[in-house]
Amino acid sequence: MSFTKTALLPITPDEAFALITQPERLRRWQTVSASVDLRAGGVYRWTVTPGHVASGTFKEVVPGERIIFGWGWDGNSDLPFDASTVTITVEPAEGGTRVTLVHEGLTEDQAASHADGWNHYLERLEQLAATGDAGPDEWAWSPQNLNPIVAAEAALAAIQPVLRNLTPQDQPKPTPCTEFTCHELAEHLMTSLVQLGAMAGGTVTNPEEGSLENRVSVMADETIAAWRAVDLAGTVSGPGGNELPAEFAASILPIELLLHGWDLAQASGQSLHVSDEVVAYMATLAESVVPGGRGRSFSEEATPAQDASPIDRLAAYAGRTPITG
């Protein structure tokens, strides 16, 4: 069976093509992270929502006009890598650009479930094209089956809006990590991603150029991909060559992303929006990670305000105090 959906976007065909192919733009409406080798034979991997990774091979790429690619889900034997085919056509239309998506090679049940997904995301694409902001994806808000890897993806999704809204004027501002300005904290976070990726046996490369949101998202995706390949029941080599339980080491990643996202939000006067369910899971990870790092990575536990939100309470547990005024 197949599913077909058309969207009308008030932008040019080239702008529409960029929205459906470029990782930095895909993250604005459809994915938490995206790796794209945009050429015939190239492979893509999209973390659509935390814990759900779509992947496949590009069959045809006609810039500004059409892409055809295989579609499947990691870990899904019923619809694995390249098991179905998606064709997206971009063409001029009155008022902008018509985008037509056809998803073929599905069973009846798969067509129904993918219809829900494509309807949801193409509505977000229309909103992004019309207003410049599709807003947080409600489907990524409170993922099920949380583990340190899925939690890291949820944390990345939560902090991306904060990273996008940082400005050059925010760079010298102090953060709740008192030894770091915003700029220094961002550099520290990217260095941490390189180190955490290496612990999992991966190589994480700092893009050096582009927006902070893009740099952190690309590096976090590489780090998460490295940890996805690790047996969390085993061990990994930590700093100094010490063996660490893999699940403990993996738990550092989502905490690092979420808390530093909170730090940057505090410093720049933003709010970090993250579900209570994700924060509750992060709190269980923090109970094993934070105590051993006090005096180095974490300060002594602070006292949260009586009406503090769950994320503010987690930050207080990690020794952070909100910036006021």
For the stretch 188-216, pLDDT in tens is 999 999 999 999 999 999 998 899 999 99
Q: What angle do CA 178, 182, 187 make, to 5 degrees?
A: 100
261 and 120 in a common domain: no
The answer, yes or no, to whether residue 141 has pLDDT greater than 90, is: yes
Q: What percentage of the chain carries pLDDT values higher than 70? A: 100
Q: Which domain holds residue 9?
A: 2-137
For the whole model, what pTM was predicted?
A: 0.96
Count Cα atoms within 13 angstroms, Cβ side, for 151.
25
Cα 286 to Cα 188, 195, 264, distances in angstroms: 19, 19, 19
Instruction: Give me the CATH number covering residue 64.
Output: 3.30.530.20
Place of tokens 């390249």: 82
Instruction: Give me the CATH number covering residue 264.
Output: 1.20.120.450
Residue ranges in 140-275 assigned as alpha helix (H) = 148-165, 182-199, 212-228, 246-268
The answer, yes or no, to whether residue 240 has pLDDT greater than 90, is: no
**What are 31-58's pLDDT values in tens digits?**
999 999 999 999 999 999 999 999 999 9
Counted residue by residue, the chain has a size of 325
Q: What percentage of the chain carries pLDDT values higher than 90? A: 94
Of the pLDDT bands very low, low, confident and very high (cuts 50, 70, 90), residue 325 is low
246 and 156 in a common domain: yes
pLDDT (0 to 100) of residue 317: 97
The average pLDDT across 285-294 equals: 94
Question: What is the total count of domains within the chain?
Answer: 2
